[in-house]
Amino acid sequence: MIDRETSKKDPLVTARKTPDDTVQFENVLRPKTIAEYIGQDEIKGHLSVVMQAAKKRKEPLEHILLHGPPGLGKTTLAQVIAHEMNASIKVTAGPAFERQGDIAALLTNLSEGDILFIDEIHRLRPAVQEVLYTAMEDYAIDMILGKGPSARSVRLSVPRFTLIGATTKVSMLSGPLRDRFGSIFQFHFYTVADIERIVERSAKILGCKIDSSAAHILAKTSRQTPRVANRILRRVRDYSEVHDYSLIVDEAVRKTLDMLGVDACGLDAMDRKILTSIIKKWNGGPVGLNTLSSAFSEEEATIEDIYEPYLMQIGFLERTARGRRVTRHAYEHLGMEDRYREQAHLM
């Protein structure tokens, strides 16, 4: 039987948003300008050209789609874009729209040049997406007023706005929606060096001092994800304050990571449980996502979007046509090389 406890606790070190990432904690750390935004250099390069061109033509930006694993700064970048374009931004999420009228009301209340940010855009209902298509393309929406024989369609105009959509699952977006974005940017996991710079910048904002070796350890265990790095940093700051450290040193980071159950590769208890269970129960795999989902009482989407991307990024898990498989690197990390040798002939 797999212990469900770990997965039901707040995911302290996975990239999923927690209450701790709400306005008062995460927003202070968000960069405001493109110059302050660290990493994702390719995206920033393209984006600067697109923004400068739109400014030169005095036109609103074309619609932009941002996709990639959670915690990599998609919302932050949308806010940076709004700042750089001197535009106001309305932030919302796909599941917030139940009916066509909900999105129609929002769109018709925008002003020229406004940015509408829709997080989890893949979760918009098809009927809501339809309203969005015409708004994106024609800056108009067609609404049916009334019912039965007296029903009639009216076309309402929408101010020229920019939609920034964000998703962890670009494959779930319909073709017509995807085609209406002028730019599509894919986020990648950060390098350890970039996470170190983010940690040092965040420490300054939080008013704590961290030495470079401690920042390096923290960066290496942050799943190459700024949200995770900033969260661990806040916990390290707590630890350091309680223990009267005036400078955050290696020991404070190590002790905090121990407390959080995070290992040298940034894996938490749930990651290790996923890997060891696949090894012990399914001989290392392949095992289907639905089987894992019921074994861990965790939604398929959570396993797929929260846990798997980093395990695959560091080469501990592979997706094959027949299911998920644990790699030799993971066996080695977990100290289970013997099992690897036993099971290798079954693979």
Q: Which helix (H) or strand (E) holds 204?
A: helix 192-206
Quick check: 70 binds ligand ADE (CB under 6 A)? no
Quick check: 29 binds ligand ADE (CB under 6 A)? yes
Q: Measured between alpha carbons, how far is 58 from 63 in angstroms, rounded to an integer?
A: 15
Quick check: 73 binds ligand ADE (CB under 6 A)? yes
Quick check: 309 binds ligand ADE (CB under 6 A)? no
Q: Contacts with ligand ADE: how many residues (CB under 6 A)?
A: 11
Q: Which residues are registered as beta bridge partners of 317?
A: 326
Sole binder of ligand ADE in the list 43, 81, 104, 198 (CB under 6 A):
198
SS3 (DSSP) at 268: coil
The residue type of 54 is A
For residue 231, give both structure tokens: 């969260």
327 is catalytic: no
Quick check: 116 binds ligand ADE (CB under 6 A)? no
Instruction: Pick the catalytic residue from 114, 119, 271, 305.
Output: 119
Quick check: 31 binds ligand ADE (CB under 6 A)? yes
Q: Measured between alpha carbons, how far is 226 from 190 in angstroms, rounded to an integer?
A: 8
Of the ranges 9-17, 31-39, 49-57, 105-113, which one interacts with ligand ADE (CB under 6 A)? 31-39
* Min separation Cβ 39 and ligand ADE, Å: 5
18 is catalytic: no
Q: Measured between alpha carbons, how far is 208 from 185 in angstroms, rounded to an integer?
A: 34
The residue type of 77 is L
Instruction: Pick the catalytic residue from 6, 162, 167, 168.
Output: 168
Quick check: 38 binds ligand ADE (CB under 6 A)? yes
320 is catalytic: no
254 is catalytic: no
Sole binder of ligand ADE in the list 94, 226, 286, 309 (CB under 6 A):
226
Three-state secondary structure along 7-72? HHCCCCCCCCCCHHHCHHHHHHHCCCCCCCCCCCHHHHHHHHHHHHHHHHCCCCCCCEEEECCCCC
Environment class of residue 65 by beta-carbon count within 10 Å: exposed (0-12), middle (13-18) or buried (19+)? buried
E strand spans, the chain: 64-67, 89-93, 115-119, 140-145, 152-157, 162-167, 183-186, 317-320, 323-326
* Min separation Cβ 266 and ligand ADE, Å: 16
Quick check: 188 binds ligand ADE (CB under 6 A)? no
75 is catalytic: yes
Of the ranges 24-32, 174-182, 259-267, 308-316, which one interacts with ligand ADE (CB under 6 A)? 24-32
**What residues between 313 and 332 interact with ligand ADE by CB under 6 A?**
none
The residue type of 235 is R
Q: For ligand ADE, give the closer residue by CB, 206 or 260.
A: 206
Of the ranges 7-15, 29-37, 105-113, 234-242, which one interacts with ligand ADE (CB under 6 A)? 29-37
Binding site for ligand ADE (CB under 6 A): 29-31, 37-39, 73, 76, 198, 201, 226
Catalytic residues: 74-75, 119, 168, 227
